């Protein structure tokens, strides 16, 4: 009669090894920093524990991942603006980008108001308030992710989304969001702006100026609300970031201009153009031609005036633009 004896410590060990399929991934850290799994012996090599042997024809042992840090909070971060806060300071404090802040707060206006609430993503991505008719599939298309990513991260069991609910959409910022057409908005510099005229010299920066041609603004007698890039007549102008064309035509001292609401919620204005290459409502990818350099409107000599706005207020393009 053959007998089988199992030492208690061997039984515990076997039970632990039979547990499989558990993994813990911190979505806020790169994949390379994940914890290494415990190694199992090769499938064709037997391992003895007490009187029990495990091998090819016995139990298949899978690696067990051991988390070394807590999983991130998956709820949107609500921040209350304090006196003196700026977008740059908030972005630095919470390790997010300015564009993620504008992206997550589409009604944002500058300057920030004390007591104002801002929604910030706890991981790289965007905070979204669900609108009537939104589905996991439509949001997935808009932000360039899988529907299962949205449902899983927000602990949702079905595709139906409640209007008014707040979701966090994790987005790989090295890829960025999509346009409404489903193609990547920023194929060349995701998460950043491309210089609309590569190699062009910046001849005037954002801010107060002594140049008498500039109109008064923000309490200054003369203020330049964008950056000027020197270029000859007819030089092509490329979209700094992808988005939707919201205005085309003549406007005040801008002359002939194109205006784009980019995928992160910033407004791009290309002014003093000689000609335009896009139409109202058109979806434009980063790097796509939007027009030609000119000198229309309040301008002396051919150049491009590039202006960025948050909620209708000009902001300095220099920290974002790649010129």
Pairwise pLDDT comparison (186 vs 25), residue with the higher score: 186
Distant-in-sequence, close-in-space partners of 160: CB < 8 Å, separation ≥ 6 = 135
Q: Which of 319, 306, 178, 304 is nearest to 242 (CA)?
A: 178
pLDDT digits 0-9 by tens, 71-126: 557 899 999 999 999 998 999 999 998 889 999 998 888 889 999 999 999 999 99
Q: What's the confidence (pLDDT) of residue 118?
A: 96
Q: What's the confidence (pLDDT) of residue 244?
A: 96
% of the chain exceeding 70 in pLDDT? 75
Q: What angle do CA 174, 175, 179 make, to 5 degrees?
A: 145
pLDDT band at 68 (very low <50, low <70, confident <90, very high): low
pLDDT band at 280 (very low <50, low <70, confident <90, very high): very high
Flag whether pLDDT at 70 surpasses 70: no
Flag whether pLDDT at 243 surpasses 50: yes
Flag whether pLDDT at 316 surpasses 70: yes
Q: Three-state DSSP class for 301?
A: coil
What burial class does residue 130 get, using C-beta atoms within 10 Å of its C-beta: 0-12 exposed, 13-18 middle, 19+ buried?
middle
pLDDT digits 0-9 by tens, 180-201: 888 999 999 887 889 999 999 9
Q: What's the confidence (pLDDT) of residue 30?
A: 38
Pairwise pLDDT comparison (2 vs 67), residue with the higher score: 67
Q: What's the confidence (pLDDT) of residue 59?
A: 47
Strand-strand pairing, 243-251 and 283-284: antiparallel
Q: What's the confidence (pLDDT) of residue 19?
A: 38
pLDDT band at 310 (very low <50, low <70, confident <90, very high): confident
Distant-in-sequence, close-in-space partners of 19: CB < 8 Å, separation ≥ 6 = 64
Pairwise pLDDT comparison (291 vs 60), residue with the higher score: 291
Average pLDDT (248-258) is 94
Q: Which residues of 263-290 are buried (b: 16+ CB within 10 A; e: fewer)?
A: bbbbbbbbbbbbebbbeeebbbbbbbeb
pLDDT band at 34 (very low <50, low <70, confident <90, very high): very low
Domains, the chain: 1-71 (no CATH), 77-170 (3.10.350.10), 201-315 (2.70.70.10)
Report the mean per-residue pLDDT for the chain. Answer: 79
Average pLDDT (228-249) is 96
Flag whether pLDDT at 152 surpasses 80: yes
Q: What's the confidence (pLDDT) of residue 190?
A: 86
């Amino acid at each position: 009669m053959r007998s089988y004896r199992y030492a208690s410590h061997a039984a515990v060990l076997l039970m632990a090894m039979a547990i499989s399929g558990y993994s813990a991934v911190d979505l806020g850290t790169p994949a390379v920093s994940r914890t290494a799994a415990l190694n199992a012996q090769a499938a064709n090599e037997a391992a003895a524990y007490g009187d029990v042997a495990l091998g090819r024809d016995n139990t298949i042992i899978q690696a067990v991942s051991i988390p070394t840090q807590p999983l991130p909070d998956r709820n949107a971060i609500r921040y209350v603006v304090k006196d003196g806060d700026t977008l740059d300071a908030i972005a630095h404090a919470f390790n997010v980008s300015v564009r993620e802040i504008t992206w997550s707060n589409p009604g944002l206006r500058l300057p920030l108001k004390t007591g104002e609430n801002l929604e910030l993503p706890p991981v790289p991505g965007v905070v979204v308030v669900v609108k009537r008719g939104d589905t996991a599939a439509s949001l997935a298309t808009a932000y360039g992710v899988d529907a299962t990513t949205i449902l899983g991260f927000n602990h949702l069991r079905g595709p139906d989304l409640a209007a008014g609910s707040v979701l966090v959409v994790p987005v790989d910022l090295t890829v960025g969001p999509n346009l409404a057409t489903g193609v990547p908005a920023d194929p060349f510099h995701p998460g950043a702006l491309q210089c609309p005229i590569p190699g062009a010299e910046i001849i005037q920066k954002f801010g107060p100026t002594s140049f008498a041609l500039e109109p008064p603004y923000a309490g200054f007698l003369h203020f330049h609300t964008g950056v000027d890039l020197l270029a000859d007549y007819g030089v092509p102008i490329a979209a700094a970031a992808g988005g939707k064309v919201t205005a085309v035509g003549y406007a005040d001292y801008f002359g002939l201009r194109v205006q784009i609401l980019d995928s992160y919620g910033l407004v791009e204005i290309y002014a003093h153009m000689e000609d335009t290459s896009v139409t109202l409502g058109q979806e434009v990818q980063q790097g796509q031609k939007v027009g030609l350099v000119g000198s229309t409107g309040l301008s002396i000599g051919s150049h491009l005036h590039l202006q960025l706005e948050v909620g209708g207020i000009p902001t300095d393009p220099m920290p974002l633009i790649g010129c």
